[in-house]
Amino acid sequence: MNNLVILPIIIPVIAGMVMVIFRKRIIFHRYLSVCSIIAVGIVTLLLIFQIDQEGVQTLQLGGWEAPFGVSMVADMFAALLILTTCVVALCCLLYAFRSIGQERENFYFYPLFMFLITGVIGSFMTGDIFNLFVCFEVMLVSSYVLISLGGTGNQLRESIKYILVNIISSFLFLVAIAFLYAMTGTLNFAHLSIRVAEAGQDGLMTVVAILFLIVFSLKAGLFLFFWLPGSYSAPPTAIAAIFAALLTKVGIYAIIRVFTLVFYHEPEVTHLLIGILAGFTMILGAVGAVAYWDIKKIITYNVIVGVGFILAGAASLTAEGLTGSLYYLIHDMVVKALIFLLGGTVIHLTGTSRLKEFSGLIRLYPGLGWMFFIAALSLSGIPPFSGFLGKIFITEGTFEAGFIWLGIIGLLTSLMVLYSIMKIFMNGFWGTDTSEENEKRTTKGLLLPLGILTMLTITLGLGAEGIHHYVDLAVEGLINPGIYIEAVFGTRPVH
């Protein structure tokens, strides 16, 4: 029993609810939201330290032993992602202070932000598949409101599509859980793993696994990403950044968790399918990123490429591939938030998202320009920055698993990503300032979160050795499901 495990989930809930009660005090909202995110970060650091010392930490809610109660499981994989979530959320909050506008702040922006974080952290931490569904819904309902908050025409149109797609995928999720429960009679991840291993993963079970894959693909934007470019370009910058950094990553986390812990017996079918879908996702995403001359479209298609890349590592089911996936997942959360905030700042400064309508920004905003350059290099995986190591490990993992075509697709799409993002840099920042009325606007307060994230992507690249120990621990837990199961059940025999 370790009550520290539940704190990252309940701190944002309590903070959000207190904010709803004191609705008018916007300054209080700002302080409370920042303080609670920092508190969650500190708790997560403590948790990481504990996991390092004593192994995977669990909490049986209400004192009911697993599989009968709901377990909360904090393994290193989840804890690292939660820590990254905190950092990214903090930067998006700081950005929102300056950019989101009073009207949205008055209509519960900060409480909704807290509930979104609650759902994301809950999904990372839960040890029970139905609880995963509930945490997904907490996250999604908050995101429905955040995407439509403000009520401009574009937002309303895109939020209808977004809500429809997500309601259908949630329905499929529920159906998949019902099938799985009918076959195994349990909902706890660790117990499911034992039951599936005992009964063997027959054809029917593989079908259910693929149903789960479809559900999580809809959430993560793996191949079924048709809803994503529109939805992610509709909301204001700070909200789009937190969506791009966190929402698809929860789907990716769910795929990795389910297909390393429960359905790992038929990799020739399920993991090959993940690999094929990841390959298509990378190609289609890269084609989209190269095709458009619109900043918002280019960066949203880059989100899709990232999803495909992470899951290419997961599809290999080797230690190298999963290490790469975890490195790249952390890098991707940071750098996608950074690139969305940068793109949003450029749009805020120029008043347009079309690349052909402005140029020469680097004369007026040198800091912004060089940060964009660093982010662009990091996004495509140039060595000193954080994207490099993940790409190396993922490519190594796919080659080792025999998916050589997948590794080659990954490398080729990296080039296309570099081209697409450099297109923004060269057309927008270089050249002569074409428009006359484009006087210098203030970037006060906006540059601070951008600076933090840029520093982070540099330190993650240079100091990759420093977190190597923790990533190794996380991957060890993913490769050996026994560690997770033993942490949940102790040494009690369970069938």
Please state, in angstroms and rounded to a whole number, the distance separating the CA atoms of residues 416 and 439.
33
- Please state the closest distance from residue 58 (CB atom) to another protein, in A: 10
Q: Which is nearer to another protein, 43 or 362 (CB)?
A: 43
Q: Which range binds another protein by CB under 8 A, 16-24, 84-92, 229-237, 401-409?
A: 16-24
Q: Which is nearer to another protein, 7 or 234 (CB)?
A: 7
Q: Which range binds another protein by CB under 8 A, 3-11, 45-53, 178-186, 459-467?
A: 3-11
- Please state the closest distance from residue 107 (CB atom) to another protein, in A: 11
Indicate which single residue of 24, 53, 62, 182 sits in contact with another protein (rule: CB under 8 A).
Answer: 62
Q: Give the number of other Cβ atoms within 10 Å of residue 230's Cβ.
A: 17
Burial class (CB in 10 A: 0-12, 13-18, 19+), 153: exposed
- Please state the closest distance from residue 132 (CB atom) to another protein, in A: 18
Q: Which range binds another protein by CB under 8 A, 13-21, 131-139, 378-386, 452-460?
A: 13-21
Burial class (CB in 10 A: 0-12, 13-18, 19+), 206: middle
- Please state the closest distance from residue 5 (CB atom) to another protein, in A: 8
Q: Which is nearer to another protein, 39 or 183 (CB)?
A: 39
* 61 touches another protein (CB under 8 A): yes
Measured CA angle at 392 (ends 472, 475), to 5 deg: 20
Q: Which range binds another protein by CB under 8 A, 10-18, 136-144, 159-167, 229-237?
A: 10-18
Q: Which is nearer to another protein, 20 or 319 (CB)?
A: 20
- Please state the closest distance from residue 115 (CB atom) to another protein, in A: 10
Residues 279-308 that bind another protein (CB under 8 A): none
Please state, in angstroms and rounded to a whole number, the distance separating the CA atoms of residues 116 and 102.
20
Q: Which is nearer to another protein, 15 or 485 (CB)?
A: 15
Residues 351-410 that bind another protein (CB under 8 A): none
* 392 touches 312 (CB < 8 A): no
- Please state the closest distance from residue 17 (CB atom) to another protein, in A: 5
- Please state the closest distance from residue 112 (CB atom) to another protein, in A: 13
* 20 touches another protein (CB under 8 A): yes
Indicate which single residue of 14, 167, 178, 207 sits in contact with another protein (rule: CB under 8 A).
Answer: 14
Indicate which single residue of 40, 56, 59, 326 sits in contact with another protein (rule: CB under 8 A).
Answer: 59
Q: Which is nearer to another protein, 13 or 244 (CB)?
A: 13
- Please state the closest distance from residue 75 (CB atom) to another protein, in A: 18
Q: Which is nearer to another protein, 63 or 200 (CB)?
A: 63
Residue 83 CA from chain centroid, whole number? 12
Q: Which is nearer to another protein, 117 or 245 (CB)?
A: 117
* 3 touches another protein (CB under 8 A): yes
Helices (H), 264-403: 270-291, 295-316, 319-350, 361-364, 366-380, 387-400
* 172 touches another protein (CB under 8 A): no
- Please state the closest distance from residue 18 (CB atom) to another protein, in A: 7
Indicate which single residue of 34, 50, 55, 60 sits in contact with another protein (rule: CB under 8 A).
Answer: 60
* 25 touches another protein (CB under 8 A): no
- Please state the closest distance from residue 108 (CB atom) to another protein, in A: 9
Q: Which range binds another protein by CB under 8 A, 58-66, 93-101, 238-246, 261-269?
A: 58-66
SS (H, E, C) the chain: CCHHHHHHHHHHHHHHHHHHHCCCCHHHHHHHHHHHHHHHHHHHHHHHHHHHHHCCEEEEHHHCCCCCCCEEEECHHHHHHHHHHHHHHHHHHHHHHHHCCHHHHHCCHHHHHHHHHHHHHHHHHECEHHHHHHHHHHHHHHHHHHHHCCCCHHHHHHHHHHHHHHHHHHHHHHHHHHHHHHHHCCCEHHHHHHHHHHHCCCHHHHHHHHHHHHHHHHHHCCCCCCCHHHHHHCCCHHHHHHHHHHHHHHHHHHHHHHHHHCCCCCCCCHHHHHHHHHHHHHHHHHHHHHHCCEHHHHHHHHHHHHHHHHHHHHHHCCHHHHHHHHHHHHHHHHHHHHHHHHHHHHHHHHCCCEHHHCCCHHHHCHHHHHHHHHHHHHHHCCCCCCHHHHHHHHHHHHHHCCCHHHHHHHHHHHHHHHHHHHHHHHHHHCCCCCCCCCCCCCCCCCHHHHHHHHHHHHHHHHCHHHHHHHHHHHHHHHHCHHHHHHHHHCCCCCC
* 13 touches another protein (CB under 8 A): yes
Q: Which range binds another protein by CB under 8 A, 15-23, 139-147, 261-269, 469-477?
A: 15-23
- Please state the closest distance from residue 139 (CB atom) to another protein, in A: 16
* 422 touches another protein (CB under 8 A): no
Indicate which single residue of 24, 53, 63, 439 sits in contact with another protein (rule: CB under 8 A).
Answer: 63
* 23 touches another protein (CB under 8 A): yes
- Which positions lie near another protein, rule CB under 8 A? 1, 3, 6, 10, 13-14, 17-18, 20-21, 23, 59-63
